[in-house]
Chain A
Amino acid sequence: MKMALKLAAVLGVAIVAGGFVLDRAAQATAEPEKQPAEDKVLHAYGDTLILKKEPVGGMFSHKSHVIEYEFSCDTCHPDLFERKRGAAKASGDYNHPSMEEGMYCGACHDGDTAFDTVEEGNCISCHGSDMVEPETIVFVKPVKAVIFNHTEHTEMGFDCASCHDELFEMRVGAAEEKPEEFTMAALYDGKYCGACHNGDDAFASDTLCTTCHIGVQGFERIHGGEGKAAAEEH
């Protein structure tokens, strides 16, 4: 009797499991039919986003050109763009005048085939669509670390041109690329922050050091956890 029960139980499990496997197999065979063909193509090309930082930040979506407009590789390569990362930038003439002459993007972006590169309303299509205004910037060179509250300054009513590009290039990390120039001595000469932080327009750069200098401990707090940093920084 006991044996019979055991047998029945084992059989039962086997039947259920078998049914499940069969079901899965049926689903697997059905799946490729359900999958849209476009997705497959999209996957094959990858969702490449090319973020250009030189000479100014701009974004080119490889995906939208290849998938949405169905260009083949030879539409652009190698005649307009060498098939090598950074090649256009290295050529030295990858700029708006060239585009207006019909080179690079300008081959299509001439106002007829695609939106032109001149009209003001078009700028944001390539520049700015992904350029997010930073809330705070933490400089780590030449000393670690200095905090700059970007939001606080823009909320004071400054526009972009107040600081960019004369005092600071509008590019993350630009000032830090020249740590030997981005010094307190430069600030005292009226460069960088020193243009306003001179004692007349804003507190002088040679006072209240720790207002901006958050130090290594402050830096580690910010990178150790956002919540903790936010609690400390006001």
Chain B
Amino acid sequence: MENYLVAMAVFAGLYGLMALGLNVIWGMTGMINLGLVGFMAVGAYTSALLTVRHAHWPMWAGVIAATIVSGIAGAVVARITARLKGDYLAIVTLGFSEVVRLVASNEIRFTNGTDGISAIPGPFRGEVAPATFNLIYLGIVAAALLVVYLLCQRLRHSPYGRVLRAIRDDDQVTSVAGKPVLRFKTEAFAIGAAITGFAGALYGHYNAYIAPEGFVPLITIYIVLSLTAGGTGTNAGAVVGAALVVAFMEGTRFVVAEIPGLAAVQVAAVREFMIAALLILVLRYRPQGLFPERHARHATPDTTP
């Protein structure tokens, strides 16, 4: 049970990272991205291919390469979709993630296809007991989450973050305000994609095995749910929301087990149903999330309250 809880904490941290990535793209800049899992896959595959399948780079180098490659992929997608907004952007990004998954399934010589890549190295795996490995990895993920969170906080409260939030409200007026909007959109998309790819690489090294079926659009929906529940636009919301969603998803496992007379397939369906119901309830009763966005206040001189 302890091992299980630690593993769930690792997953909560990974979801938290991806929710932070989505928060830069969608929460701050307002660009819908339903292809998040595609960047996670790009990151996971980049690191796995470089550390075990095609080369034997050290893990840290694989993870850095994964972050860079996903960021570049994000910049490319942002440029291609530069003229799209709303539903159109949603469908194209969703298509992107499916393309990544299908390429991973079919370029067998390159990615080993649907068999996936196994024996991805993990830090000290095999040298220490599995429980210790889990704890070490939890420490790594927690540290990564903290660093990324602090960087995202700094970004959000900088003039850069102000421009991103302005683009979210009206990109034409932002352009008239003197800001090169396309540059900001491209960079924001690249940052979010890089963070997500970084999380994907960490996922691969933790799980030791990745396969295309692990990168289905449902993962994107979980991340969107995390950010929505936590509070779109706030970094704390992204992290807490991810923890809550992972806790809820795992919690349903135990709840559903108590319902008598369900076949295994039905159990899975009921769990998905409960998660969908949660999303609807959040959107209905707390659309602003647990940590609603607030803007900074400054003392104004010469005025009576």
* Same assembly: no
Interface residues of A (CB under 8 A from B): none
Write the residues of chain B forming the contact surface with A, with a CB cutoff of 8 angstroms.
none
